[in-house]
Amino acid sequence: MKAYLFPILAAAASLALLAACGPPPIYKQSVFPVCEGRYRSNMGPIRALYVPNQTPSCRQYMLSKDVSAWLESPVNSYRQRGLNRLVLGCANLTPSAASCEYGGPDGHSASLDMTFDFTRFSDRIRVRRAVLAIHAETNAHFLAQAASLRGRLVVGDDYQSLGSIRSSPTKAASWILFDITDLAARAIVDRRDSVSFELALPCSRDDLSLSVVSVLKREPIVLVEYL
């Protein structure tokens, strides 16, 4: 028995060494199927709100690979993850003078940052429409009217304005759909795996100009309709 023990141990050591020297495992999310005459529909939480651009067609949603808040104040700016919800917009600062007047910089602000992997869609598809869906827990009407949505294909690019076409919510708490069709189609063709979006509200001293948006409670999604 001892005669066989050394060769077995040597073989096990050799296999471990080969595994250590080989290329590291690559994690990749699965690619959504193409239509090929079978029209699939997986629209997640916005299935009752999304109006198809074409029928029949395939519709597939995906979650963000990273979602966070970017917080700015007069003395500090930082990113925060793990939030269930975020107060979007500019909040008032506490007055610092006896006369209740604030003499320093304007109030702090918060924006919502999202990153999506568009390589999950095959570059063989034909995009008919794509939307970014954000859930507003409060003041959805104001958010739909005043929000600024910007996006870029890769880190380092300039942001471009998006979402000029957006849905009008019927309730104070609702999903808002921002049209991102052109950028999504380009991201799929160019195989972009880290497409960034930024959602923000203009600064105001009025608390009515704030909106609470879901971050992890109801995560932002991208839905692509394609053939």
The type of residue at 16 is A
Closest by Cα among 30, 222, 219, 197 to 119 = 30
Task: Give me the pLDDT at residue 219, please.
Answer: 97
* pLDDT less than 50: residues of the chain: 1, 17-20, 22-27, 102
Task: Give me the pLDDT at residue 65, please.
Answer: 96
Task: Give me the pLDDT at residue 28, please.
Answer: 61
Task: Give me the pLDDT at residue 26, please.
Answer: 47
Tokens of 175: 């999903």
The type of residue at 167 is S
Task: Give me the pLDDT at residue 220, please.
Answer: 98
With H, G, I as helix, E, B as strand and everything else as coil, classify residue 64.
coil
